[in-house]
Chain A
Amino acid sequence: MRLKNRHVLGWLEASPLALVLLLFLVAPIVMIVIVSFWGATEFSIYPAFQFDNYEFLFGSPVTYRVFLATLKYAFITWALTLAIGFTVAYFLAFHVRSLTMQIALFLVCTIPFWTSNIIRMISWIPFLGRNGIANQTLISWGVIDEPLEWLLYSDFAVILAFVHLYTLFMVVPIFNTMMRIDKSLLEAARDNGASGLQTLVHVILPLTKPGIMIGTIFVVTLVMGDFITVRFMSGSQRANVGRLISNDIGLLQYPSAAATAVVLLCTVLIVIAILLRFVNIRKEL
């Protein structure tokens, strides 16, 4: 017998996905929200309905400083990955002429995505360390006399790692939208006397906006939710919201961690809701 009802068949086919998301996405979020109202002793947590965790969170100046630092990381990383990602995608889409070459170079840009983030962070140590390549080179060139201390374990290192890890999240969607721009539009712009720069600003840039938005969502959420890059690259000297949560977890203060997590989730969702007003993701794939 053929199932005629597309709603029933649709849900049947989507049920494994729905089940996984229900068990490992929705339920954990609900659990976190519940636990954020619980209380904790030094050794255990107990069910309650109290706002202590939130009161403590919003009453502490650390919270605001850390959220601000998180937004700062997100913004700087976003600006850098966008500038680099756009340039790279633009080069690939409009200056590389054969499709084979485009695909090959595109793969070169995406392959690191499928390797380990931890290893990619570790691999900066020989570069940035006190006796690392960067310092040795700068000293041998006579640019500096003493090794720079702020290369590793600093904001600089954190942002460098973010850019290194996440630029390809910009390159891929921007390249994807650029490849779909009708080349005759560019010809039309040129025939009407637009310079290369004018074509870029008035034709390519507006048409690439959806890709930029998708890349932005990726980069901003990845950076805002991060806790390991900041911990590793700053040598535990800098904090962001993710580290606040993971520190609480380390101290078994789950209710407090949960409250911070709820606030972080709300922040991320608000940012995304704003970004989604500019783009329809499903149409852009």
Chain B
Amino acid sequence: MERRPRSFYVLAAFFALFVLFLYGPILTIGILSFQGPQGGLTFPMNGVSLHWFRDLFQEQAVGDIWGAFRRSFALGLMVMATTVVVSVMAGLAFRKRFAGSALLFYAAITSLVIPSILISLGVGLIFNQLGLKIHWATSGFGSQLTWTLPFGLLIMFAVFNRFDKSYEEAARDQGATSWQTIRFVVLPIIAPSLIGVALFGFTLSYDEFARTLLTAGSYNTLPLEIFGMTTNVTTPVIYALGTLTTLFSFAIIAACLLGVWILGKRRARLGSDAGKGV
């Protein structure tokens, strides 16, 4: 292998700094959440304890964070399932170049780039004028979909742009119906990408703030609850909560990556035996 040029080391250093920039702050609050009971929001550490984590589990101390967590979790799962199903269907649709597909595509892009507060405001106004009660599972759910669906759709575009159509042709030639082709050929091939779509659906919903702000109603989701805390909580308990919910996100991401990896392994093991015969 040829020697690395000097620019490699400069760029590698730059990259390392970038990663430090990305993760440094979150690591800091991770450390600070172990502050002693007398500790403040910054260094120095005033002893080491689990005091602030314990505080989290005493509801009166910080409001209804566990309720907020449960709602965020349920909403995340709802948004995730919907995003996967709707994105796959739309992805299949867009392969057909149906009349008006360009319009729908631009609507999806608009949904992605529109300032979030417009969704929040508009949905809030509609529910208000129709006399409906805003609730995280109705207005909040729909508002979050406007954020997760475009990502799901873009991933499906990326997937189908790389999809080898000859697999489908082969299935059809062997007499599969179009449903069988999708169920037994297309879906298994794109399965790892669907885990990716699910990851986007869940995490973007779980952390969504701006579009949920005016559409969640009287029961807060976790990010809203955390934001509320920033104005009136001045102890490291907020770091403890931040650390926990970030660890939770990391666990979800790790689970998804593991899922993709396992699917890949399985595929390598059970896949084509071409060239292995005698």
Known: A14-B93, A16-B89, A95-B11. Is A268-B115 also a contact (CB below 8 A)?
yes
Cβ-neighbour of A164 out of B25, B86, B107, B249 (below 8 A): B25
> Please, which residue of chain B has its CB at the minimum distance from the CB of A16?
B86
Q: Mark A121-138, 1 if CB is under 8 A from B, else 0.
A: 011111101011100100
From B93, B97, B209, give the contact of A228 (CB < 8 A): B209
**B207 contacts the other chain (Cβ, under 8 Å)?**
yes
- Decide yes or no: A20 and B25 within 8 Å by CB, A119-B246, A268-B114 being known contacts: no
Q: A25-B107, A254-B121, A264-B118 are in contact. Are A118 and B11 (CB under 8 A)?
A: no
Find chain A residues with CB under 8 A from B15 CB.
88, 91-92, 105
**In the bound complex, do residue B90 and residue A13 qualify as a contact, i.e. CB atoms below 8 Å apart?**
yes
Contact mask B84-118 → A, CB, 8 Å, 1/0?
01110110111011111100110111110111111
Set of chain A residues within 8 Å of B86, measured between Cβ atoms: 16-17, 20
Tell me how far the C-beta of B247 lies from the nearest C-beta in chain A, rounded to whole angstroms: 10
| Minimum CB–CB distance for B274 against chain A, Å | 22
B113 touches A118 (CB 8 A): no
Residues of chain A from 235 to 285 with CB closer than 8 A to chain B in the complex: 242, 245-246, 249, 254, 257-258, 261, 264-265, 268-269, 272, 281-282, 285
Chain B 222-250 interface 0/1 with A at a Cβ cutoff of 8 Å (1 = within): 01001100100000001100100110011
CB distance from B202 to the nearest CB of A (A): 9
Give chain A's interface residue range (CB within 8 Å of chain B).
35 or more
Chain B proximity of A255: nearest CB distance (Å): 10
Please determine whether A249 and B25 come into contact, CB atoms closer than 8 angstroms.
no
The answer to whether A133 touches B246, judged by C-beta atoms less than 8 angstroms apart, is: no
Partner of B113, one of A92, A228, A272: A272
Contact among B96, B104, B115 for A9, CB-based, below 8 A: B96
How many chain B residues touch the partner (CB < 8 A)? 92
| Interface segment, one of A50-58, A59-67, A204-212, A217-225 | A217-225
Is A68 interfacial (CB-CB < 8 Å)? no
Q: Would you give 21 A-B contacts (Cβ < 8 Å), ordered by A?
A: A10-B94, A12-B93, A13-B93, A16-B85, A16-B89, A17-B108, A29-B118, A95-B11, A108-B22, A116-B242, A116-B246, A120-B25, A122-B238, A126-B42, A133-B28, A221-B113, A225-B117, A227-B117, A227-B210, A242-B115, A265-B118
Binding site for B on A (CB under 8 A): 2, 6-7, 9-14, 16-18, 20-21, 23-29, 31-32, 35, 84, 87-88, 90-92, 95, 97, 105, 107-109, 111-112, 114-120, 122-127, 129, 131-133, 136, 164, 167-168, 196, 217-218, 221, 224-228, 232, 242, 245-246, 249, 254, 257-258, 261, 264-265, 268-269, 272, 281-282, 285
- Give me 8 other A-B pairs in contact (C-beta within 8 A), A21-B149, A261-B122, A282-B157 excluded: A11-B98, A17-B104, A29-B122, A95-B11, A115-B246, A120-B26, A129-B42, A225-B116
